[in-house]
Amino acid sequence: MLKVFDYEKMPVVEIVNNILVDAAKRDASDIHFDPQEEYLKIRIRIDGDLKDYAEVPNTIKRNMITRIKIISGMNITESRLPQDGAIKTTIEDVNLDLRVSCLPTNLGEKIVIRILDYSMSQAGLETLGFSPSNFEKVARIISVPNGIILVTGATGTGKSTTVYSILQKLNREETNIITVEDPIEMNIEGINQVQVNSEIGLTFAASLRSILRQDPNVIMIGEIRDNETAQIAVRASITGHIVLSTIHTNNSLNTIERLLDMDVERYLLASALEGIISQKLARRLCPKCRKLRPTNEYEKELFKNVLNKDVNETYTNVGCEECTNGFKGRIPIHEVLVVTQTIKDAISNNVRKEELRKLVYTEDVTTMLQDGMEKVIEGETTFEEILKLIELDEDESTAGEDRSNLQNSIEFTKLSQEAAKATLNKLEEAEKKDRNEKSPTNSTSNNISNPAVNSPTSSSTTPSTSSTTNNTSTSTVTSPSTTAPTSSTINNISNSTVTSPNTATPPTNPIPIPPQPTINTNEKASQ
Ligand SMILES: [Zn+2]
């Protein structure tokens, strides 16, 4: 329903204040003032969607735009060029921190006000909706002494919130943190923040060069947008600094490729890159009115494929007076990559994209599709919402084959499941051998899928035990010595194969191990 003001009697100052406070109270992220032929249309964005808010008659239009330009510190005599401004004030006990942008259009100046909300960033990293395993990985990534940590996602996916939360975690007495941002979205006590000003030549790259002379421990770069910034960021991180930044890509794999496209030297990137946190935002189901509904065949199959779970019911959105169409707020969907030595080696050795993809999507990685569907099971969001997010990736810069669509996500998930299956098979195999106290003997391998495996002194093969889904899960495993595998050998096996420090623990969603085919037992017995 449109909001109606008494434009005849109410002063424009009051109307503007009213709109700002009302939008903030409704948890809107943006307010748009769109000039039309007949009137000025006001829309507000809540939970990612724009909604009509009010229609201001043309008689008031000019005054209203001027008022906003005045309070945001813009030049009111300039109406032909775009301008940026900011408002920081308290109205009716509501603290407002607003970024204002003015763009001349053919019908007049369009103004967009971005409402900055610190409440999420201040609540702490623990409250950002990471799954327990992803949170553990983030904690591991940010505990490194130096290296580059990237948060990726499209515009408006909460990258800044994640970055600020990490900064607050790193913000300690003994640490010198300097940021270079455009714009500074939140002031953090104890941190030195630099606002980029390209008009006077204070670009990201120029600021960074000076910052390096200021003895920083942690450098936060608002966004890596150009080659020079990417190169300085990577160089800074290998000279003993933690560099934290965001980049406009949609997953771990794309991020690595984007940085290489930005002419960052392979060996430097390999040595610098420590972790990539990718995220998207899904609308959160309103806990008051959400309702269970049975899953259909397609959904059942996808849950089975992606999570190996039988899901017969999920929550759906209904709608009540406390929410919009059954949704209230948003939750992030994550993919967290800890860059292992194997991945570093692969980057510096310029392996084919397919190989890199396999190394990135090991069992240790929860894909965004998996993370999202877990959140559907938990009743945090809906199945449709996750599919919409995964399928409709509006990131034009990675259009084409790299577009992170559903097919790609399913493929990434398959890769991580194959890795998990292979590890489980190997553990099982090794345990079996351990029990039988048999020396491993050479046997033939069907397929070698992992180039990172050490050269064998003796090798054993995990037979392909799954008859249905894949024929690539088999990989060659080498035991490090000629002695029979012991429990420590088992650890070595799993580490060398899947390149993750905690692979000894079973994956969160273990895949049932099919029975070993009898032909294999005979083979072994005959040797
Ligand atoms: Zn509701």
pLDDT tens digit sequence for 339-355: 999 999 999 999 998 89
For residue 285, report the distance from its CA to the centre of ligand 1, in Å: 8
For residue 327, report the distance from its CA to the centre of ligand 1, in Å: 6
For residue 324, report the distance from its CA to the centre of ligand 1, in Å: 7
CB environment 268-297: b (16+ within 10 A), e (fewer): bbbbbbbbbbbbbbbbbbbeebbeeeebee
CA distance 36 to 43: 12
Residue-level pLDDT at 166: 96
Residue-level pLDDT at 490: 38
For residue 383, report the distance from its CA to the centre of ligand 1, in Å: 17
Query: How far from chain centre, in Å, is Cα 186?
Result: 20
For residue 325, report the distance from its CA to the centre of ligand 1, in Å: 7
For residue 53, report the distance from its CA to the centre of ligand 1, in Å: 20
Q: Which whole number is the average pLDDT over 466-475? A: 40
For residue 387, report the distance from its CA to the centre of ligand 1, in Å: 21
For residue 335, report the distance from its CA to the centre of ligand 1, in Å: 28
Q: Which whole number is the average pLDDT over 227-236? A: 92
Per DSSP bridges, beta strands 177-181 and 218-221 are: parallel
For residue 283, report the distance from its CA to the centre of ligand 1, in Å: 12
Mean pLDDT of all residues belonging to the chain: 81
Cβ 289 vs Cβ 255: under 8 Å: no
For residue 292, report the distance from its CA to the centre of ligand 1, in Å: 14
Using pLDDT thresholds of 50, 70 and 90, give the confidence band for residue 362: confident
Q: Which whole number is the average pLDDT over 8-29? A: 94
> Count of CB atoms within 10 A of residue 332's CB?
26
Please tell me what DSSP assigns to residue 335: E
For residue 391, report the distance from its CA to the centre of ligand 1, in Å: 26
Please tell me what DSSP assigns to residue 112: E
For residue 323, report the distance from its CA to the centre of ligand 1, in Å: 4
For residue 328, report the distance from its CA to the centre of ligand 1, in Å: 7
For residue 290, report the distance from its CA to the centre of ligand 1, in Å: 7
Residue appearing with tokens 């992030």: 332
Q: Is the pLDDT of residue 506 over 60?
A: no
Q: Which DSSP helix (H) or strand (E) runs through 399? A: none
Output the CA torsion sign for 236, 238, 242, 244. positive
CA distance 155 to 114: 13
Residue-level pLDDT at 486: 40
Per DSSP bridges, beta strands 177-181 and 273-285 are: unpaired
Q: Which two tokens stand for residue 437?
A: 């106290």
Instruction: Verify cis geometry, omega within 30 degrees of 0, for the bond prior to 183.
Output: yes
Of all residues in the chain, the percent with pLDDT exceeding 70 is: 80
For residue 291, report the distance from its CA to the centre of ligand 1, in Å: 10
Cβ 355 vs Cβ 346: under 8 Å: yes
Residue-level pLDDT at 419: 77
Residue length of the chain: 527
For residue 326, report the distance from its CA to the centre of ligand 1, in Å: 5
For residue 506, report the distance from its CA to the centre of ligand 1, in Å: 38
Residue-level pLDDT at 423: 75
> Count of CB atoms within 10 A of residue 155's CB?
9
For residue 284, report the distance from its CA to the centre of ligand 1, in Å: 10
Partnered with residue 275 across adjacent β-strands are 149, 338
Q: Is the pLDDT of residue 484 over 90?
A: no
For residue 287, report the distance from its CA to the centre of ligand 1, in Å: 7
CA distance 165 to 2: 36
Nearest to 343 by CA among 436, 450, 189: 450
For residue 46, report the distance from its CA to the centre of ligand 1, in Å: 15
Residue-level pLDDT at 437: 64
Residue-level pLDDT at 442: 45
For residue 396, report the distance from its CA to the centre of ligand 1, in Å: 34
Nearest to 255 by CA among 185, 329, 363, 357: 357
Which tens digits make up the pLDDT trace of 363-417? 789 999 999 999 999 999 999 999 888 864 433 333 344 444 677 777 777 777 7
Q: What is the pTM of this model?
A: 0.72
Return the higher-pLDDT residue of 433 and 479: 433
For residue 288, report the distance from its CA to the centre of ligand 1, in Å: 5
Protein residues placing their CB within 5 Å of the ion ligand 1: 286, 288-289, 320, 322-323
Return the higher-pLDDT residue of 389 and 132: 132
CA distance 77 to 263: 43
Using pLDDT thresholds of 50, 70 and 90, give the confidence band for residue 471: very low
Cβ 248 vs Cβ 155: under 8 Å: yes
Contacts 24+ apart (CB under 8 A), 470-475: 470/414, 470/418, 470/421, 471/446, 471/447, 472/418, 472/447, 473/418, 473/421, 473/422, 473/425, 473/449, 474/422, 474/445, 474/446, 474/447, 474/449, 475/422, 475/447, 475/448, 475/449, 475/450
For residue 330, report the distance from its CA to the centre of ligand 1, in Å: 14
Q: Which two tokens stand for residue 313?
A: 């019911």
CA distance 98 to 109: 18
Which tens digits make up the pLDDT trace of 160-209? 999 999 999 999 999 999 999 988 888 888 899 999 988 899 999 999 99
